[in-house]
Each structure stands twice: as C-alpha cells, then as structure tokens.
Structure 1
C-alpha cells in the first residue's frame, strides 16, 4: 500500500482579521489542470512539518513570506481529499514580506473579492479545490455576518 501524499495549501487573504480578498493562482501543469485555479502550496517533504512545508512552498512558488492564521479544517483529519492518494491541509495566510509573483507552476495570480462569493466562484477551480473554496466562502460569510 502506498503512503498518503500530504499536501499543504494557503488561502492567502488580504487580512487575517477581516479578509475581503483571496489570492488565486492559475496552474500551468499538468495538462488536465493547466489554466485552472488553485490554492498555492505543494507536497510536504519527508520529515518536514506541514507549516514549514507551506512556508517553503510559498517562498518558492510566489516569492513571499506569510503569517499563518487558522487552518481551514476538513472533516477528514488528514485534510481535504485531492484524489485517492493525496489530501491537502489549508491554512489562512497573510503576506508579510514580498509581492506575490507567479515564479513556479503558475502563470497568473489574481486577487478576487470574497464578498458574496460570485467573483471567487467565477474562476474555474481545480475540481478538488472547489469544496475548499466553498467552505472558505461559507466561513468568511458566517464571520462577517455574525
């Protein structure tokens, strides 16, 4: 049996305290996901802590340093299922240093308004990321209305 692949992702927002915009990243590969949007991040290396992996991936992919907020919890303890072999844990994050640039794996970055969710949902998200986007929007909406 193959071990589960642990992946980390960041829901990068303009403010951890009062998020109004989310940074989406458009993939360049693999072919089935090229042109679709996702949360930036990547695989956790052997022996690496999940949050350390996320900081490393964001520095490599976007050239930024972030402050992590809460994890956007999944019903599954290993994270949001991506496929039969991989699951992703996602944290809210706020940029503390650098200007996000599509350095690796992406050809475009876009800040989208969270608001009622329509601008965010207008993007063509990778299918496995869509439930995460919906949970994030629900949580953001609940926080702003409550």
Structure 2
C-alpha cells in the first residue's frame, strides 16, 4: 500500500468570514476555489506545514487553531486535512502570491457563491455549520 501524503488546507477565519482562494494553476483546477494550503514536507508536523504554506502562498503570519474532523481523498496518494486558522496579531492581510489569482473573504451567507473544488466542499460544509451558515 502506498504511503499517504497529507495536504493541509486552512479554513482561515476572520471573525465570521472565511478566506477562499481561486486557483490559477494547474489548468484542470484553474478558476475553482479552495481553502489555501499545500503538502506536508517529510518530517514536518501538519500544523507547522499549514503555517509555512500560508506564509508562502499568501504572505501572512497565521496560526493553526483546531483540526476539522475527517480527511478527504485527493489524487492518490494524497489526502486533505483541514484546520481552522487565524491571522496572528500584526500580520499583513493575505495576498495571492502563488497558485492563486484572486482571494475573497466570504461571510456565512455567501460561502457558496464560489465554485469550490470538490474535495474542499465537505470541509467548507463543516465550517459553514460552525458559522451557523446555510449548508449545501
């Protein structure tokens, strides 16, 4: 059996707003929205990978708060784990630095205004429930 590789995703929250990031690459994912994040490097703790990925992709200083229960299959051998996260005090606001061409803060009533990547939908549903938003 192939060893699974964990990809971390951040449900970055600012009050009741969730950050969504639109993919610019690869072509098959471009234009769809996701929770930002990336692969855990060998020997790296998943929550540390989350902080690193958010720094690289969005130029922010964030902290992982709580893991969202569950894991979601991606292309073999990858699986998605999601954490809620928040900006650290004094962090600059997020910018689309790599792999994304637009960022949007979504309020609970607008969480489903963007076409999420299929693998992110279960985690967004979980976050929606926590924010008291309409489920999809």
The two structures have a TM-score, normalised by structure 1, of: 0.84
**1:92 & 1:128 partners in 2: Cα distance?**
16
**2:93 & 2:130 partners in 1: Cα distance?**
26
The match for 2:61 is: 65
RMSD over aligned CA atoms reads: 1.4
The match for 1:100 is: 94
The two structures have a TM-score, normalised by structure 2, of: 0.90
**2:122 & 2:25 partners in 1: Cα distance?**
21
4+ residue segments displaced more than 6 Å: none
Q: Is the 8 A contact 1:62 1:103 kept in 2?
A: yes
The match for 2:38 is: 42
**1:114 & 1:90 partners in 2: Cα distance?**
18
**1:33 & 1:92 partners in 2: Cα distance?**
23
- Structure 1 gaps, min length 5: none
Q: Is the 8 A contact 2:66 2:84 kept in 1?
A: yes
**Pair 1:90-2:86 in alignment:** no
**Pair 1:132-2:128 in alignment:** no
Aligned length: 131
**Pair 1:111-2:105 in alignment:** yes
The match for 1:11 is: 11
Offset, 1:139: 2.6
- Structure 2 gaps, min length 5: none
